[in-house]
Structure 1
Amino acid sequence: MLYMVIETFIADADVVYARFNEKGRMLPDGLAYVNSWVSEDRTVCYQIMETPDRALLDEWITRWNDIVSFEVVPVHQSADAQKLILGMEQVSTPPGT
């Protein structure tokens, strides 16, 4: 399952990137980083993450939530969403999501 993770930096972006440079993403096994975009003012990061188990995403969040607040939205790629809306295909949701 894909998730749009909206991170709002509680601390200054320099603090967030210093931790990233020191410790990396700190992803648990089974959680994959896909891509990200940062707002021009460097206060918000939009990330796509992928995992069959939502609990892994929550585990990762606990490693960052002292300096970043999180909003998590389960998402589908637009082509898959169109098929779902038109009833053309069943998109299965893995257990634990």
Structure 2
Amino acid sequence: MLFMIIERFRGGGAAPVYERFRERGRMAPDGLRYIDSWVDASFSRCFQLMECDDLSLLLAWVS
């Protein structure tokens, strides 16, 4: 199954999120696959396309 995740950046915008990503990676559980992502022009939202066969993996990752 494919899922579109929309992440809204708060406070400091995207910078803290990208810093965490550089330090720890995507932090997705095994079985949850990253497909693609893009950020809107204002850097206030990130759209991520993810894929998995087990919805519980996605729910664990977003929590």
Task: State the TM-score, normalized to the length of structure 1.
Answer: 0.61
What's the C-alpha RMSD, in Å, of the aligned pairs? 0.9
Report the 3-state secondary structure (helix = DSSP H, G, I; strand = E; otherwise coil) of the residue aligned with 2:42. Answer: coil
How far residue 10 of structure 1 moved from its aligned partner, in angstroms, is 2.1
CA distance in 2, matches of 1:10, 1:60: 19
Query: What is the aligned partner in structure 1 of residue 61 from structure 2?
Result: 60
Aligned residue pairs total 62
Corresponding position of 1:7: 7
Give the secondary structure class of the aligned counterpart of 1:17: helix
1:49-88 correspondence runs (5 A): 49-62=50-63
1: CA distance between counterparts of 2:51 and 2:27? 15
SS at match of 2:27: coil
Higher-Rg structure is 1
Q: Unaligned stretches of 5+ in structure 2?
A: none
| Structure 2 length-normalised TM | 0.91
Name the SS of the counterpart of 1:58 in structure 2.
helix
State the one-letter code of the partner of 1:3: F
